[in-house]
Amino acid sequence: MDVGFIVSGFVVGLLVGITGIGGGALMTPLLIFGFGISPAVAVGTDLVFAAITKASGVWTHARQATVDWRVVGRLASGSVPAALVTLAVLGEVDTHSPAAQGLITSVLGVALMLTAAALLWRSWLSKAPQHGAAIRERRRVVPITVATGVVLGVLVTLTSVGAGAMGAAALFWLYPRLSAARVVGTDIAHAVPLTAVAGLGHWQMGTVDTGLLVMLLAGSLPGIYLGSRLSKQIPERWLRPALATLLLVIGIRMIA
């Protein structure tokens, strides 16, 4: 079982390094369906896992000047308070009860389907001509960005899914003038405080398995490194639709 967790961490880390897809969309369903981990513990453990693994990515992107800290602040002004409110609500219920587990699983299913759509939408946005960019940035971008942060804060705290693909897709639409590298760097930089706050909240509620966390990290860190090295050699245009289809099927199964 220990080897299985380490191997799973490596595979997920490899895919994250190659595609940039958030690990929560891959790791959380794997822990629930593959290993029988309770949804609440899978979510809580994955949130701390994400905060640790993404922190090194922020350092790299910051040194390369591929983080727009202004946009990070806008997203975080919505997501962090939303995460705290969601944690407060979760703290009032028994997260291990059948009703709570069912709710988490259902919301996770919806989040996975949204992530699948975001993966495909992001590919289209990165290629589509950008019209009305200046108007969108001047008039509506700030409140929409904050509102996007609120949605991500709730989803990530409940499911550990959303900070990656959905966040990046939203940034591609809201800030079409940002380069792809800055979208990725900004998305990762925002994910760290959000997953850290949500993860610490889950830790206080007792829904983080530290032993499981260590094993996942032991596999994922070398996997992310190797995936990052291979990312330019593997055709992502094939991997991304395949992963989107997989996430869509899992999401439908979870809410069925």
3-state SS, the chain, equals CHHHHHHHHHHHHHHHHHHCCCHHHHHHHHHHHHHCCCHHHHHHHHHHHHHHHHHHHHHHHHHCCCCCHHHHHHHHHHHHHHHHHHHHHHHCCCCCCHHHHHHHHHHHHHHHHHHHHHHHHHHHHHHCCCCCHHHHHHHCHHHHHHHHHHHHHHHHHHHCCCCCHHHHHHHHHHCCCCCHHHHHHHHHHHHHHHHHHHHHHHHHCCCCCHHHHHHHHHHHHHHHHHHHHHCCCCCHHHHHHHHHHHHHHHHHHHHC
Write out the residue range of the structural domain in which residue 39 sits.
Answer: 2-255
- Residue 121: its pLDDT value, please? 76
- Residue 127: its pLDDT value, please? 59
- Average pLDDT estimate for 50-66: 81
Mean pLDDT of the chain: 84
The number of domains in the chain is: 1
Choose the weakest-confidence range: 1-10, 42-51, 106-115, 224-233. 224-233
pLDDT confidence tier of residue 135, bands split at 50, 70 and 90: very low
- Residue 204: its pLDDT value, please? 92
Choose the weakest-confidence range: 4-18, 24-38, 224-238, 241-255. 224-238
Choose the weakest-confidence range: 75-79, 123-127, 139-143, 215-219. 123-127
Most confident range (mean pLDDT) of 39-43, 225-229, 243-247 is: 39-43
- Residue 146: its pLDDT value, please? 95
Choose the weakest-confidence range: 40-54, 97-111, 197-211. 97-111
Q: Mind listing the pLDDT tens digit for each residue in 171-228?
A: 888 888 888 778 888 988 898 999 999 999 999 999 999 999 999 999 988 888 787 6
pTM of the model: 0.84
Choose the weakest-confidence range: 16-25, 180-189, 240-249. 16-25
